[in-house]
Each structure stands twice: as structure tokens, then as C-alpha cells.
Amino acid sequence: MKAYGVEDLTEFAARLAELRWTSEPPPKAGKFVAYTDGACFGNPRGPGGWAAAVFADVGVWHLFGHLSSTSNNRAEALGVLGALEWVPSGSTLELHSDSELTIRQLEGRYKVKSNTDIWDEIRRVRASKRIDLAPEWVRGHAGDVLNDLADRLSKIGARNGTLDDLGSTSSRAAAPRREPPELIGLVPSGDWEREFLRSVRDQLRRGRALSPKQQAVVDRIRARAASA
């Protein structure tokens, strides 16, 4: 039986080098948001693509690459690696994926049992670049424009296409919703704070003010960061 995935990291590295040459990477550390995805036509062993749509105040980057023979899970993981490689050292990265497996592995809730070559690279890059990573699961095919953008990019990669194939989607999905002012600069410590901030973020975006108890928690998180 033909092996698959053996060229994934080599093909990924070559494509990343090309993207760094043709697209100007972000110049300095900051706060970034990424939506990542992966695709494989004929899973496993078919051609596939990885994707990372990365956003910041300083720019928007549509990253994707082709994989000659891979699997969905490997392509999903390479999308994560693409986002981690793209942001500068010392950055904060809010990373969204519709792969619950990928997100739970990033959170440490699920043990990595396969595709260890890629996950070893994910851990290495995350640690060496000191990236403060906040993984967030998003439901797939549920009308999230930015998740749909990542999905399209991954399929363009699988077809070995170009950014021209994206059409007008990029103009409709130019940037994610901005962080509510009350939460700018907050970095969660642990799963509880991450879930809390996710909940109040949605609340604020719906126009509902924080309760006194919620504000007290926000103030405590901010005070901890200021004293660190």
C-alpha cells in the first residue's frame, strides 16, 4: 500500500518559503487572529491542502499550500503550523479551527497519538517563538464567513490553485470582528478564564454590558497581566 504524508513537511516548508518571498510577513510581535483548515481529496492518500487566514491591524494574509499525498488530519495540523510560523515571536495568537480534534490537542485535552512529526513541529515552533496561543473551536459549515474562507483556501491548496481562484470571497471576509474595547490586551490563564472571556466577548458583541461580577473578573485578569 502506497505511503502517504511522507512529503508533507518538505512540501510545507517549500511553500512557506515561497509565501515569505511573495508576501510581506508581519514585521513585529502583536495580537493576531487566524482561521485554519485542511482538506484532502480522497482521504487518506489523496492530494490535499493546508490553509491559514491570518489577520491583524497591520495586515491580512491568505496562506495555503499543496500536499501531494496526505490526510485530512495532517492537512489540518499543517494549517495550524502555518499560522504559528507566520506570526512573529512573542505574539498572541487567537486560533480558530472547525476540527475539534485539532483544538483539543492544542489545548492539551487530547493526547497526540498520530501525525507526531507535524505535532512535534507545532510544539517546537510554539515554544521557541514564545507564542501565547488561544485555540478556539468553531462549528464548521455554520455560516462563519472566516471559517468558510479557510475552508476555501485549503481546497484551493488541494487543487494546487492560486489566490485568483478565491474570487470575491476575500473582499467579503477582509477581517474578523474587532475585539471589544473592554477585553483588549487580556490574556487568559487556563481553560476557565479562556471560556469566561469567550463568553463575555460574545455578550459584549451583542451589545450587553458586563455585570459587576464579570467586570471584577476582567479587572483581576488585567491586574495580573500588569503586574507580571
> What is the reported pLDDT for 175?
56
Residue 193 pLDDT exceeds 70: yes
Q: Name which residue leads in pLDDT, 212 or 70.
A: 70
What average pLDDT does range 21-27 have in this prediction?
Answer: 89
Q: Name which residue leads in pLDDT, 131 or 190.
A: 131
What average pLDDT does range 195-218 have in this prediction?
Answer: 83
pLDDT in tens, 150-164: 999 999 999 999 888
Phi-psi region of 45 (alpha: psi -120 to 50; beta: other; left: phi over 0): left
Q: Which of 27-36, 65-74, 159-168 has the lowest mean pLDDT?
A: 159-168
Q: Name which residue leads in pLDDT, 225 or 171.
A: 225
Residue 69 pLDDT exceeds 60: yes
> What is the reported pLDDT for 155?
95
Q: Name which residue leads in pLDDT, 31 or 57.
A: 31
> What is the reported pLDDT for 97?
96
- Cα 103 to Cα 143: distance, rounded to the nearest angstrom: 19
Q: How many CA atoms lie within 13 A of 21 on its CB side?
A: 6
**Helices (runs of H) and strands (runs of E) counted in the chain:** 8, 5
**Ranked by mean pLDDT, which of 35-44, 52-61, 193-202 comes out on top?**
35-44
- Cα 215 to Cα 164: distance, rounded to the nearest angstrom: 45
Q: How many CA atoms lie within 13 A of 39 on its CB side?
A: 21
**pTM, whole model, 2 decimals?**
0.76
Q: Domain 8-176 is in which class?
A: alpha beta
Percent share of the chain, pLDDT over 90: 62
- Cα 156 to Cα 88: distance, rounded to the nearest angstrom: 26
**pLDDT-based confidence at residue 213 (cuts at 50, 70, 90):** confident
What is the bridge-based pairing of β-strands 59-67 and 92-97?
unpaired
Question: Hey, what amino acid is at 75?
Answer: A
What are the extents of the domains in the chain?
Answer: 8-176, 178-228
pLDDT in tens, 86-145: 999 999 999 999 999 999 999 999 999 999 999 999 999 999 999 999 999 998 877 788
What average pLDDT does range 207-221 have in this prediction?
Answer: 86
> What is the reported pLDDT for 228?
60
- Cα 220 to Cα 122: distance, rounded to the nearest angstrom: 31
